[in-house]
Structure 1
């Protein structure tokens, strides 16, 4: 693309089909709605359907919403998710690996019963989905894979070593896939959210001292809102980011600078 050819149309996702795992709640809902607002059709894979809010928000923005009940931690299910998306929407152009869990325990109590399911959902399922989608995208001329990392890709994970390990793993996995797929027209990048006001942080936000400690690290002086991630999602999913490869886009209100 030349300078003279630049247009905001590059941010359009019209005609694109996107998979968002865990896309019907929390941050996943924001990713789904952002993609729909930019013109994409959205295929959500999750353990359970939501109350209809995500479907409504997607459809109000002109997007088609498809849902599949899927336990992506089970081997082979990610391949079924990709195949079902292609069957229903005709292609797979965008993958957002959003689904994740965070189980907490003190280090002496954090055992394999907590470690194994987090590795299965947060990292192995993301790999399987990216593998299946990446093969199809490579054959089809390109696509976008967006992995959801975390501040804890860079920091320690007090009370959840598995969360820190899986999110650090997402960064390494993102860079490794970029190294092979960028030359095939597939951009693989990650978004690392900071502290956001979602169900997973409800207990911290309800504790005045804990919430204060978090806010003292955020120059923006507020918790993130899921809507704060929507612009980054559209950018990384669109042609506007075609030369962005293997990048981790931190959206944290400035947390990492302190």
Structure 2
């Protein structure tokens, strides 16, 4: 498989705190890569560095053989690298359909076309019956699906998902795994931050473990979940985490 993304020696400091410390990895086309680690390990900071919401102090981000280090988020998204956010922030004055249509406007030729894309994405994630709902009235599980639909409306080739299953019930996790499998089967490569470890085990081909901002382990899902240091540093902490 062709290399889609390369992250090389990525480092970010906030004052005296090193939040990301020399992180290096690659993502190939067709991957489903999981990123796990304790709270405060630097996972979301890593996403922010790669997707243009933070500028690194050192290192490089290369997407489709183009160095995008320090680019603004909207420029990176235009290349096909999009992300969701751990805390959903829909446009409260717009209904569900128009929230997705706003995201689709980047590539759509008109508002009508953007709304058609929105309808397609809402069907894809299972929100078509909620298209006219006010976003504030949606429960958290449906807001997570809305966040996914907005990201998909930008037509990404590489999609970063930041705890898209956080706060969901076991049934909602199962449903979302099936949706993400459809996303992957449609040709989108996935990188997933998640604390719901059964979902990581079921969904991901490879896993990276961050600890204190540095790479603790990486490899196949089975290898990583048997790694003694990973078990000691992280897995014991979440052993009772919600399964399904």
TM-score normalised by length of structure 2 = 0.36
Q: Identify, as 1 or 2, the structure richer in helix.
A: 1
Q: Identify, as 1 or 2, the structure richer in strand.
A: 2
Larger RCO of the pair (alpha carbons < 8 Å, separation 6+): 2
